[in-house]
Chain A
Amino acid sequence: MLWVDKYRPTDLVSLDYHDDISQRLESLAKNPASLPHLFFYGPSGAGKRTRISAFLGALFGPSAHKLKLNQREFTTPTGRTVEIHMISSDYHIELSPGDAGTSDRFVIQDVLKDIASSKNIRSSTEIKVVVLHQVDRLSKQAQAALRRTMEKYAVTCRLILCCDSPSKLIAPLRSRCLGIRVAAPCEDEIAKILKTVASKEEFGLPNSVAIKLARESDRNLRKALLMLEAAKVQAAGNGAIPENQYLPSADWEVYIRQLATDITKEQSPQTLMAAREKLYELLVNCIPASTILKSLTGELLNNLDDSVKLEVIEWASFYEHRIAMGSKDIFHLEAFVAKFMAIYKKYLNDLFG
């Protein structure tokens, strides 16, 4: 079992940070009948899911953690079938309806109607909970469909929505929920948690390494823990992690860093061709295009003069929008690389005449 899962807190009391949120959730859990719909948002690795499952535990007791995975088929009115994986306990169902692509609204309708129309005989508290993950991936239609559904079935069934970027959820839905913002833990909190994990695993973790890991993780606790585990494996043996332990970054990050160096070094059709290969390699390995663009921009900004940074970031946001709108990612990524080369070349020419 990965440490990320092994040391995941399972009840509200043992959550490590954001005590105010934990307290709020606790007081909500005491009174299930008046529970509003909830909307958890915050960056990834901040602990949204952990809080949701801890909250469900507080609401329904330990049996809410007895999960089973099942698969369900939905047939859309147009005759297409979609398969969706769902995680359920006796009291709740979790699913990410975004997986259904364009048929997402039928999935939502079906699941909600199913759940809301049957009453739970096993539980004393009458409400049931549907957790929808990654609601930012839902189509606008599906979100509009949720508006009324949420109100109609509110008597028997509460929704918990969860996503990274709240801006992608339409305002009418946001205003129907109690928003719970889960901020990413700060570096000190991450370092502290890393130390606790290390002591539970019984190996030494120097302060400097813990702080370095926390800083490298971009305030993402999941990433920090995975990096810690990787570092431990590399350090080998069962002793402490040495002070000067090299902390590996993910392969794709190294790759993007290299790409950034390449295109700042030379701007020519040849490098563009080489860049294309790199981009394809990244895409083939299932790195989402917008993530590629974001980290590439991040790397580029590091080596640039302030005067061109604005232009680069403007174009980055322009092409990222195109990626979201279009369907062929490689075009937009390459266009960005070419655009960057043009901007940078011009800057160099102006500088040296």
Chain B
Amino acid sequence: MSSSDGTPWVERYRPQTLDDVSHQTEVVATLKNAVETGRLPHLLLYGPPGSGKTSVALALCKDLWHPSQWRRRVLELNASDERGISVVREKIKQFASLSVGTADDTKKYPNPPFKVIILDEADTVTKDAQAALRRIIEAHSRITRFILVCNYVTRIIEPLASRCAKFRFMALPPATMKERVTAIAEAEGRKNNVIMEESQIDAVLAVSGGDMRRAVTSLQSVQALLAGQSEDNSKNNIIDEAAINELAGLPPDHVIDTLYESLLSNRFNTMQSAVQNVIADGYSVQTLLQKLLDKFIVTDDLDELGRAKLAIRIAEAEDRMNDGADEYLQLMTVCGLALKCLYTASKKMKQ
């Protein structure tokens, strides 16, 4: 029986010190230097989800101060906290302006004489609030360092970005992730009596697309399923690659192939019923479009113009769905255009 408590594995296996952080060598080297000298600029960490930005920010703080100092030294704010302009004016400003004493009970730590404010998911902070931050950052820079963490650096206003040292995080390559994920799988597997095969771990990595958090979350789901099954061997259905894809919400290849097949038919009704089927099967249109685009780019059935047109249309459809437009109509538009482009290309080729 499992002895695990409820903490998600993502939290449990978060790197505790900068040394534990995998892959982001450049960032880690610079920051370690900062820890040793006790000098730290304002930081702007950006990169795709699951690449370790928040982990680095937290690990840095853990390296700098003794845990007892944290409450006084570190303020972590993220999108689930209220972060309008009023919070910037009151909460952040107040914390930033408090001066710090020096604690002497913590010899082991560098204990630099400043505080840190971590603004997680900083790209969701409103423009107004960001503008208000500009002055606060400068005015209190003697005693407070800001660490801004975000996915899209373009959503941070320029004056704010230029006040920080920027660090770009890269999506993790599968090889690096594999080591870590395998270690977690073994540690947790021992508790739950679950043995995962290498192929299963590979499948988990494949669906994660360089996102460590996603990999670990999928891993936890897969192990939860395996643990439930091992108690009851009578209906042991195997969690294979297809099942792992399914858990991650990715459509299997044959679905894409059938849809693509219907696009080659040059018959609107065939395409329409194929689209209706895909929608009724509940696949996420966003991932479908992604896979379709992958297919359009490599296929020989299209000419360059058609490829370009389709890429534009897919981008448009994605944008509209972000605004809350209907999935069915958007997918129909993309497929309708694909139908036309594929037909013209095939006619040209015959000539």
A interface residues with partner B (beta carbon < 8 Å): 20, 23-24, 26-31, 33-36, 39, 41-43, 46, 77, 109, 126-127, 136, 141, 144-149, 151-152, 154-156, 165-168, 171-172, 174-179, 181-184, 218-219, 290, 293-294, 297, 301, 306, 309-310, 313-314, 316-317, 320-321, 324-325
Contact = CB atoms under 8 A, between A and B. Distances in A.
A27 B229 contact: yes
A184 B328 contact: no
Contact of A310 (B11, B79, B336): B336
Contacts, number: 184
A313 B329 contact: yes
Contact of A320 (B214, B221, B329): B329
A167 B224 contact: no
Given A148-B78, A313-B333, A320-B325, A31 B227 contact: yes
12 contacts: A126-B6, A148-B79, A154-B8, A156-B6, A175-B211, A175-B213, A175-B217, A290-B326, A301-B272, A306-B268, A316-B329, A320-B329
A322 to B, nearest CB: 9
Interface residues of B, number: 67
A291 to B, nearest CB: 9
A29 B228 contact: yes
Contacts of B221: 36, 178
A34 B320 CA distance: 37
Contacts of A176: 213, 217
Contact of B80 (A145, A174, A321, A325): A145
Given A109-B80, A145-B80, A147-B121, A28 B228 contact: yes
Tell which of A27, A148, A176, A301 has the most Cβ of chain B within 10 Å: A27
Contact of B8 (A147, A151, A156, A290): A151
Contacts of A23: 235, 237
B336 A321 contact: no
B24 interface: no
B323 to A, nearest CB: 6
Contacts of B224: 27-28, 31, 34-36, 178
A301 B267 CA distance: 13
A34 B223 contact: yes
Given A109-B80, A306-B268, A155 B320 contact: no
A178 B320 CA distance: 26
B330 interface: yes
**SS of B interface (majority):** helix
B272 A181 contact: no
B99 interface: no
B247 interface: yes
Contacts of A141: 79, 124
A32 B233 CA distance: 19
B286 interface: yes
A250 B333 CA distance: 27
Interface string B81-98: 010000000000000000
B168 to A, nearest CB: 19
Given A184-B282, A321-B325, A179 B247 contact: yes
A324 B6 CA distance: 39
Sorted from nearest, which 9 A-B pairs have the closest CB atoms? A27-B228, A42-B282, A179-B249, A166-B284, A155-B6, A178-B221, A317-B329, A321-B325, A148-B80
B5 interface: yes
A105 B79 CA distance: 11
B285 interface: yes
Given A167-B285, A310-B336, A313-B336, A34 B80 contact: no
Contacts of A317: 317, 320, 325-326, 329-330, 332-333
A165 B192 CA distance: 34
A314 B6 contact: no
A114 B213 CA distance: 27
Contacts of A154: 6-8, 11
Given A36-B217, A168-B324, A301-B272, A151 B11 contact: yes
Nearest to B251: A181
Contacts of A309: 268, 336
Nearest to A105: B80
A310 B340 contact: yes
Residue among B49, B211, B323, B332 with most chain A CB within 10 A: B332
Contacts of B247: 178-179
B227 A166 contact: no
